[in-house]
């Protein structure tokens, strides 16, 4: 058995955060009943990347396929009294509810967070929303971009924004805020399941994406809030001085982190003890890191790296103790010997999308490794399994 075998989860969530949370639980063996709208299903079915073919059938979204492995799909029309009554019966049979709607929507489908703990004391309810269940009027409507920009990360992305005429950036991919919130939700749900084993009590959990993201910058923001680090409207307020950064290579880009005397000595060996390094004080990185030296250092390293291939240069540097790495893209990840060794990607055969490599979980567990046993469900694939003809629960 895997770690969460036997745990039943009802997923009302329709966005990436809730679906990712459900996936994290499902890949450890939890049984996820995903409630979808008849007809169109989860909104993530309509989002790319799409596999080949006519995407109008709602079964070709690579996003949905990735986020919903190991889950069961039940279609339920929550706009009808019958649908709501069925939901109520389903809820009585599960351990966990994951939702990402607002509080009024939940109430309308019969889930009243004010009384749920009295009504179903064993149930763990996890709500994931952009700004919590009672957002102010100025934050009622939100997307991952606006959340990211509200968290402190956005304004300071990228680092080293020297040209303030260019806008702050969105961060990597489309759903960073959602993935982060999904992880936090899983952590809280599993902790609650753990405690419930002894107390037999459920819990209501409220995840705010903004707060998850802001708490991820605690090292900086925690100092700012305590008055130990300056705040300003500077776009570089989160940054550190020094020559660390991106460099162009012959076949792409690399990133070099250099902050300690040991890095500097490793760089000297890597470059063959070039003359220019001798004019720098030994501990300049810590004690005498002037903009002029940073510029010179970056120039010389850049001249060398642009003649090098990113993976080879990184391997040579790492062997000397210099933290130089390749800037990877998706192809690099799939071809990475390290990822292959750890089997981070696994082939999943989806009945419509066919066979493809999917990212798995970023952790190995010796006793209960997460795994993908079945592909994401077709819309309504498990409706009859879970709902008897009478509308009852099997």
Residue 56 found at the interface with another protein (CB under 8 A): no
Residue 37 found at the interface with another protein (CB under 8 A): no
Tallying the residues shown for the chain, one arrives at: 394
Instruction: Supply the DSSP string of 262-291, one letter for each residue.
Output: HHHHHHHHHHTS-GGGGGS-TTHHHH---H
Which range in 33-41, 77-85, 132-140, 266-274 contacts another protein by CB under 8 A? 132-140
Binding letters toward another protein, positions 74-113, x by CB under 8 A: ----------------------------------------
Number of residues counted as binding another protein (CB under 8 A): 150
For residues 130 and 145, what is the distance between their CA atoms, to the nearest angstrom? 10
Q: Using the rule CB under 8 A, which residue among 268, 359, 374, 380 binds another protein? A: 359
Residue 330 found at the interface with another protein (CB under 8 A): yes
In angstroms, what is the minimal distance from the CB of 304 to another protein?
17
30/387 with CB nearer another protein: 30
58/171 with CB nearer another protein: 171
Q: 338-369 as b/e, with b when 16 or more CB fall inside 10 Å?
A: ebeeeebbeebebebbeebebebeeeeeeeee
Q: Using the rule CB under 8 A, which residue among 213, 313, 372, 379 binds another protein? A: 213
Residue 136 found at the interface with another protein (CB under 8 A): yes
Max Cα–Cα distance, the chain, nearest Å: 84
Residue 262 found at the interface with another protein (CB under 8 A): no
Cβ atoms of residues 201 and 121 within 8 Å = yes
143/393 with CB nearer another protein: 143
Q: Using the rule CB under 8 A, which residue among 290, 329, 373, 384 binds another protein? A: 329
Residue 38 found at the interface with another protein (CB under 8 A): no
Q: Using the rule CB under 8 A, which residue among 277, 289, 294, 334 binds another protein? A: 334
Which range in 49-57, 76-84, 92-100, 275-283 contacts another protein by CB under 8 A? 49-57
Residue 331 found at the interface with another protein (CB under 8 A): yes
7/387 with CB nearer another protein: 7
Binding letters toward another protein, positions 293-322, x by CB under 8 A: ---------------------x---x----
Closest CA to 122 of 7, 35, 228, 5: 7
Cα Rg, the chain, nearest whole Å: 25
Instruction: Supply the DSSP string of 193-208, one letter for each residue.
Output: HHHHHHH---EEEEEE
Which range in 81-89, 249-257, 294-302, 381-389 contacts another protein by CB under 8 A? 249-257
For residues 35 and 52, what is the distance between their CA atoms, to the nearest angstrom? 26
In angstroms, what is the minimal distance from the CB of 189 to another protein?
9
For residues 147 and 143, what is the distance between their CA atoms, to the nearest angstrom? 6
* DSSP 8-state class, residue 68: T
CA-to-CA dists, residue 46 to 41, 65, 66, 146, 358, angstroms: 9, 11, 13, 21, 19
Q: 295 Cβ partners below 8 Å, 6+ apart?
A: none
Q: Which of residues 222-241 bind another protein (CB under 8 A)?
A: 222-226, 228-229, 231-235, 237-240
In angstroms, what is the minimal distance from the CB of 276 to another protein?
24
Residue 277 found at the interface with another protein (CB under 8 A): no
Residue with tokens 């010997």: 337
For residues 299 and 380, what is the distance between their CA atoms, to the nearest angstrom? 59
Cβ atoms of residues 65 and 375 within 8 Å = yes
In angstroms, what is the minimal distance from the CB of 227 to another protein?
8
88/332 with CB nearer another protein: 332
Cβ atoms of residues 255 and 322 within 8 Å = no
């Amino acid at each position: 058995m895997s770690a969460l075998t036997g745990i039943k989860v009802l997923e009302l969530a329709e966005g990436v955060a809730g679906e990712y949370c459900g996936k994290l639980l499902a890949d450890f063996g939890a049984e996820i009943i995903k409630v979808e709208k008849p007809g169109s299903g989860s909104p993530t079915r309509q989002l790319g990347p799409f596999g080949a073919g006519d995407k109008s059938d709602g079964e070709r979204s690579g996003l949905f396929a990735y986020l919903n492995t190991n889950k069961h799909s039940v279609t339920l029309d929550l706009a009808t009294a019958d649908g709501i009554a069925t939901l109520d019966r389903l809820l009585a049979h599960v351990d966990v509810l994951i939702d990402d709607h607002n509080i009024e929507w939940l109430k309308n489908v019969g889930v009243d967070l004010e009384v749920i703990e009295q009504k179903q004391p064993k149930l763990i309810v996890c709500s994931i929303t952009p700004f919590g269940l009672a957002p102010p009027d100025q934050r009622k409507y939100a997307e991952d971009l606006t959340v990211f920009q509200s968290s402190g990360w956005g304004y300071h992305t990228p680092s080293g924004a020297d040209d303030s005429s260019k806008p702050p950036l969105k961060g990597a991919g489309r759903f960073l805020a959602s993935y982060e919130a999904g992880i936090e939700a899983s952590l809280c749900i599993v902790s609650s399941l753990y405690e419930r084993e002894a107390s037999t009590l459920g819990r209501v959990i409220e995840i705010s994406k903004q707060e998850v993201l802001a708490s991820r910058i605690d090292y900086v923001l925690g100092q700012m809030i305590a008055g130990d680090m300056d705040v300003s409207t500077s776009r570089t307020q989160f940054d550190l001085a020094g020559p660390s950064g991106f460099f162009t290579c012959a076949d792409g880009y690399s990133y070099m982190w250099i902050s300690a005397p040991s890095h500097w000595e490793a760089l000297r060996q890597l470059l063959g003890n070039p003359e220019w390094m001798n004019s720098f004080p030994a501990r300049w990185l810590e004690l005498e890191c002037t903009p002029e030296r940073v510029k010179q250092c970056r120039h010389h390293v850049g001249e060398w790296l642009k003649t090098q291939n990113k993976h080879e240069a990184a391997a040579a540097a790492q062997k000397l103790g210099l933290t130089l790495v390749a800037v990877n893209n998706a192809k690099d990840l799939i071809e990475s010997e390290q990822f292959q060794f750890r089997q981070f990607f696994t082939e999943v055969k989806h009945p419509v999308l066919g066979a493809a490599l999917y990212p798995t979980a970023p952790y190995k567990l010796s006793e209960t490794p997460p795994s993908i046993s079945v592909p994401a469900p077709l819309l309504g694939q498990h409706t009859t399994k879970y709902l008897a003809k009478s509308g009852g629960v099997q």
